[in-house]
Amino acid sequence: MNDLVIIKDEIPVVSTFNLFERMGYTEHRLLKRVISSNIDAFNDFGILHLDVQKPKKSTGGRPIESYLLNEDHFILLVLLAKNNEKSIELKIRVSKEFKRMKQTISNLITQREDPNWQNVRSDGKHVYLQKTDIIKQFVNYAKAQGSTSAERYYSNLATMENKALFFIESKYKNMREIMTIKQLMQIATADQVVEKAIQEGMDQELHYKDIYQLAKERVIAFANIIGKSHLHDLALEDTPAE
């Protein structure tokens, strides 16, 4: 069961879009109306932020606009909205998730203050920059072979690495800032794998698409050896001593 509470800018929040059916509403707009009719009361507990998500390509339609509620917003919503057996169960579930997410954030802050974590993070940044230099060469290489969207390889390679190594349960501005020491070392190794694969591919004058596949295959092979990990689960653990 996926968490309803997510971390947004290091604040635990829950989306009204993920709540309306669970609270007994047939349409999302009906739950949002409860909030808009009491907006001043909600703003007393912090500014409400809108989350806009594009609809899936297969369905089309308007973008989905939902409110992101902090814990106090959620409690107020439960008091104002319909109250039934499902909403009571939901309140208990979401309250537990808020508590767990707040502990996660506390642990992450403590982790970032650890000199061992800071050293590994710093080393990883140097490795990442070396990989970025190779990708820059690769982008020019791909363009020379006719690619019209080679710039996307910066993000495509990063996404490929992250998906291969981790179970990603939320959106983050910078995933590496919430990784443990072990995960930082793993992603740094993956960066080196990508860097080496790209360099070898260009040296062998392979087609740019084949070079990307080579890098992907090697990262997946590495991930199969070490196994994928959950960012949230590990963030809840104490940072191991070194």
Residues 124, 80, single domain; the answer is no
Residues 145, 77, single domain; the answer is no
Q: In the listed set 110, 128, 162, which residue is the last one of a domain according to the structure?
A: 110
Q: Which domain holds residue 15?
A: 5-110
The tens-digit pLDDT sequence of the chain (242 residues) is: 578 998 887 789 999 999 999 888 999 999 999 999 999 999 999 988 888 887 665 556 688 899 999 999 999 998 898 777 777 888 889 999 999 888 888 888 898 899 999 999 999 999 999 999 999 999 999 999 999 999 999 999 999 999 999 988 766 778 898 899 999 999 999 999 999 999 999 999 999 999 999 999 999 999 999 999 987 643 444 333 33
First-last CA distance in the chain = 34
**How far is Cα 3 from Cα 104, in angstroms, rounded to an integer?**
13
Q: Which amino acid is present at 124? A: G
Residues 92, 141, single domain; the answer is no
Q: In the listed set 86, 110, 134, which residue is the last one of a domain according to the structure?
A: 110
Residue at 187 is within a domain: yes
pTM above 0.85, yes or no: no
Residue at 217 is within a domain: yes
Residue at 241 is within a domain: no
Residue 49's SS3 state is: strand
Residues 144, 71, single domain; the answer is no
Residues 205, 120, single domain; the answer is yes
Q: In the listed set 55, 82, 110, which residue is the last one of a domain according to the structure?
A: 110
Residue at 182 is within a domain: yes
Q: What is the pLDDT of residue 9?
A: 77
Q: What is the pLDDT of residue 24?
A: 86
CB 174 within 8 A of CB 237: no
Going by the DSSP 8-state scheme, the letter that residue 59 receives in this structure is T
Residues 13, 105, single domain; the answer is yes
Residue at 240 is within a domain: no
**How far is Cα 50 from Cα 68, in angstroms, rounded to an integer?**
6
Residues 26, 134, single domain; the answer is no
Polymer length of the chain: 242
SS3 content of the chain, % helix, strand, coil (to 5): 65, 10, 25
Residues 219, 168, single domain; the answer is yes
Q: What is the pLDDT of residue 222?
A: 97
Residue at 126 is within a domain: yes
How many of the other CB atoms lie within 10 Å of CB of 32?
A: 18
CA 84 to chain centre: 33
Q: What is the pLDDT of residue 240?
A: 33
Residues 77, 100, single domain; the answer is yes
Give the count of domains, the chain.
2
**How far is Cα 55 from Cα 47, in angstroms, rounded to an integer?**
25
Residues 87, 169, single domain; the answer is no
Residues 132, 76, single domain; the answer is no
Residue 184 is inside which H or E element, if any? Answer: helix 181-203
Q: What is the pLDDT of residue 190?
A: 97
The helix-helix angle for 208-226 and 115-144 (nearest 10°) equals 150
Residue at 47 is within a domain: yes
Residues 63, 143, single domain; the answer is no
Residue at 242 is within a domain: no
